[in-house]
Amino acid sequence: MKISILLENSVATPRPLGLVAEHGLSILIEREGKKILFDTGQTGKVVQNAVLLGVDWREVEAIILSHGHYDHTGGLRAVLENIGRPVKVYAHPDLFSPHYYLASEDKAFYIGIPHQQRLLESLGAKFLWVREAREIFPGLWVSGEVPRKTPFEKVERGMVLRTETGFVQDEIRDDLSVFIQTEQGLLILLGCAHAGPVNIIEHAREVTGESRILGLIGGTHLVTADQERLKKTLEYFRSLDLKILAPNHCTGFALRSYLKDLFKESFRWGGGGEVFEVS
């Protein structure tokens, strides 16, 4: 199995000339002859990055969207245009919910998906809604809605949903992750991990029946975590005996550097262009 970071907030070196970074995430899974795309970045720049990395878009068999935020779904239009035929898109039914970020009492930014469902369907998207954990290919699971069990993993204030009566706290129910069963345990791909990395990993163990965690790749959203949450999360990560820890995107650069020191040989930067070969 090959996992390629097609795009994220940084670019690994040395990589093909012209590879770009943006605030967003897109990962390609190549496994058992299938190419599956997890998230699409923010602006469509992932299309060119993938070409530079040798990806033929026509071979992408399915797309999984981690959640509705613009930095994971914004590239979907360009991706569909390049795939050029109908393609399954797995996502939570709340994908199109009105996600906002409340910067101050009177300043809210729309941070949801920047495309209409109808337009995406006209470009070939066949949405398949995943509310419960589902094995979409043998050994490859989409998490479904993740039960929020830990007391310390709360969605940050400021993430809100627009309702008819005003803004309410957004629990980002649409947050999905991918669990891949390997000979060495589970490889977990996170989008933004708004459900909390610990909640997500515990859910992965429960639905797959596999307790060994081989690795973690993707956004952890620990960039805004307070000290208590960070301490508990890192204690948990250390208990897992991870072989791969590639916390990128919304982990934040400062924390990524800190984790590099802490996890040493299992740490990988997970920048754009980086490839993980896993058996």
Q: Is 69 in the site for Fe ion (CB under 5 A)?
A: yes
**Backbone φ, ψ for residue 196 (5° rounding):** 100, 125
Q: Which of 55, 125, 250, 255 binds Fe ion (CB under 5 A)?
A: 250
* Site track 13-52 with Fe ion (rule: CB under 5 A), x = hit: ----------------------------------------
In whole angstroms, how close is the CB of 226 to Fe ion at the nearest point? Answer: 18
Q: Is 113 in the site for Fe ion (CB under 5 A)?
A: no
Q: Is 62 in the site for Fe ion (CB under 5 A)?
A: no
Q: Is 92 in the site for Fe ion (CB under 5 A)?
A: no
In whole angstroms, how close is the CB of 234 to Fe ion at the nearest point? Answer: 20
Question: Which residue lies nearer to Fe ion by CB, 214 or 274?
Answer: 274
In whole angstroms, how close is the CB of 23 to Fe ion at the nearest point? Answer: 7
In whole angstroms, how close is the CB of 191 to Fe ion at the nearest point? Answer: 7
In whole angstroms, how close is the CB of 172 to Fe ion at the nearest point? Answer: 7
Question: Which residue lies nearer to Fe ion by CB, 113 or 240?
Answer: 113
In whole angstroms, how close is the CB of 219 to Fe ion at the nearest point? Answer: 5
Which range, of 2-10, 71-79, 231-239, 257-265, touches Fe ion by CB under 5 A? 71-79
Burial 9-30 (b: 16+ CB within 10 A, else e): bbbbeebeeebebbebbbbbbb
Q: Is 192 in the site for Fe ion (CB under 5 A)?
A: yes
8 A C-beta contact, residue 76 and residue 125: yes
Residue type, position 204, single letter: A
Which range, of 11-19, 84-92, 120-128, 192-200, touches Fe ion by CB under 5 A? 192-200
In whole angstroms, how close is the CB of 240 to Fe ion at the nearest point? Answer: 23
Question: Which residue lies nearer to Fe ion by CB, 25 or 78?
Answer: 25
Q: Is 71 in the site for Fe ion (CB under 5 A)?
A: yes
Binding site for Fe ion (CB under 5 A): 69, 71, 192, 250
